[in-house]
Amino acid sequence: MERLIEDIYRSQSRRVLATLIRLLGNFDRAEEALHDAFAAAARTWPRDGVPANPFGWLVSAGRFRAIDHIRRRSRFDMSAKDIEESLYGSFDETEIGNVDLIEDDMLRLIFTCCHPVIPADAQMAMALREICGLTTEEIAHAFLVPAPTVAQRIVRAKNKIRTAKIPYEVPEREELPERLDRVLHVIYLVFNEGYSASSGEEVVRADLTSEAIRLTRLLARLLPHPDVSGLLALLLLQDSRRAARRSSQGGLTLLADQDRGLWDREKIREGLERLDGALRNGEVGIYTLQAAIAAEHARAETPERTDWRRIVGFYDLLLSAQRSPIAELNRAVAVAMVEGAERGLQLVDAILQAGELESYHLAHSARADFLRQLGQKAEAIAAYETALRLCQQAPEQTFLRERISELTAAAERQ
């Protein structure tokens, strides 16, 4: 039963939270109600059984516990009574079975977090925390900033929502475009955390990749736009490789070593179709360019048939549209596939010297791999050890240790 409740928490908690925010009108109150609801489930479900509609049970339980907290914490003056009556009056039991309304709650939440009066960095941090339940540490990893900085941004965003009385709603159609870039970036970061988890025992967090794809589909229905199609294409093409990215023992499998027969051909088909639509319908955005890169991998029947020159060209376009140190790192890897490891090493060294990716383990891992290819074993071992020290994901740590062991053994044989 404990495992079942944990599974329901992972799959349903953010939707429960979104609905509780709408019903309670307050982020902090809704978060407290969410935890109270799951605590109640842990007490009663082992005895009474799992309800037929766990989502509805959790929303109802959280809401009524919020009312109980108001009663206990407040003097029963007019303001407390008004709050309590508003909570009772705003609830319709049929809502918890209305799938469309539940989905709308998620969109309301993401657009509220991305309101233009909230500072951009605080928007992102809060959206990732509240919409997808990423930890402060995971968000810090996504932004390459210290965790306390992320915590301060989230507090700042909540205070702004409260003081500015930002409504919890999907904005009118004419207001959607000004928030679209931020919303897309939030979904993109959610997917990235799921596609390559920053910490923990799993290579992939399928709950996050699936949620990101689901939210993008909802957004595509709400606001058909080439950038939305480009993002959906990118997510589908990347997620198509999910089953091949981990070995039977749960370890990390690099792209070149993946069994392409495990790639999800239906996602590839839809991803390529969405990409074609995005390319035909307006200015090509950054997600469409990234989708075009992913498409080159998807189309290649073998690693050797990958068109790396074309991929480098797409990275050049991407960096001309929006500079990104991580995109520069990925471009360096692509360039190395065309011009050799020595050129790749030169590019990665320049990126690391700039300082922005000094704490990013994949930059040091890429450098180590180039050094390994060039036969510089001692330097490669040192770079892998730096990557290992910075890495927090268990399968990646195992992979890095294996590389270090292989190089150490090879050096001892010489």
The per-residue pLDDT for 44 is 92
18 falls within a domain? yes
262 falls within a domain? no
For residue 200, which phi and psi values (nearest 5 degrees)?
100, -170
108 against 219, higher pLDDT: 219
Neighbouring residues of 187: CB distance < 8 A, sequence distance ≥ 6: 110, 212, 215, 216, 219, 231, 235
The per-residue pLDDT for 177 is 73
Residue 136: alpha-carbon gap to chain centroid: 13
Distance CA 119, CA 194 (A): 25
21 falls within a domain? yes
**What share of the chain has pLDDT > 90, as a percent?**
50
264 falls within a domain? no
CA nearest neighbour of 287 among 224, 341, 361, 229: 229
23 falls within a domain? yes
- pLDDT exceeds cutoff 90 at 271: yes
The mean-pLDDT minimum among 113-127, 130-144, 383-397 falls in 130-144
What is the distance between the terminal CA atoms of the chain, rounded to a whole angstrom? 56
259 falls within a domain? no
Q: How do residues 51-88 score in pLDDT, each as one tens digit?
A: 999 988 999 999 988 888 777 766 545 455 554 444 44
390 falls within a domain? no
Helix (H) or strand (E) run with residue 374 in it: none
Number of helical (H) and strand (E) elements in the chain, helices listed first: 19, 2
pTM, entire model:
0.81
- pLDDT exceeds cutoff 80 at 209: yes
76 falls within a domain? yes
The per-residue pLDDT for 103 is 57
| Eight-state DSSP code of residue 380 | H
How confident is residue 89, by pLDDT bands cut at 50, 70 and 90?
A: very low
Give residue 8's domain range.
1-96
- For residues 244 and 253, the answer to whether their CB atoms sit within 8 Å is yes
259 against 182, higher pLDDT: 259
The per-residue pLDDT for 309 is 98
CB atoms within 10 A of CB 262: 13
Distance CA 367, CA 365 (A): 5
How confident is residue 106, by pLDDT bands cut at 50, 70 and 90?
A: confident
Task: Please give the tally of structural domains in the chain.
Answer: 1
Q: How do residues 360-374 score in pLDDT, each as one tens digit?
A: 999 999 999 999 999
Q: How do residues 287-333 score in pLDDT, each as one tens digit?
A: 999 999 999 999 999 999 999 999 999 999 999 999 999 999 999 99
- For residues 345 and 371, the answer to whether their CB atoms sit within 8 Å is yes
Distance CA 72, CA 76 (A): 9
The per-residue pLDDT for 79 is 52
For 3, counting Cβ atoms within 10 Å of its Cβ (0-12 exposed, 13-18 middle, 19+ buried), the class is exposed
The dihedral built from the CA positions of residue 149, 152, 158 and 159, taken in this order, carries a sign that is: negative
Question: What mean pLDDT do residues 191-204 have?
Answer: 82
Q: How do residues 161-187 score in pLDDT, each as one tens digit?
A: 888 888 777 677 677 777 788 889 888
Question: What mean pLDDT do residues 141-157 have?
Answer: 86
| Eight-state DSSP code of residue 203 | S
How confident is residue 408, by pLDDT bands cut at 50, 70 and 90?
A: very high
- pLDDT exceeds cutoff 70 at 91: no
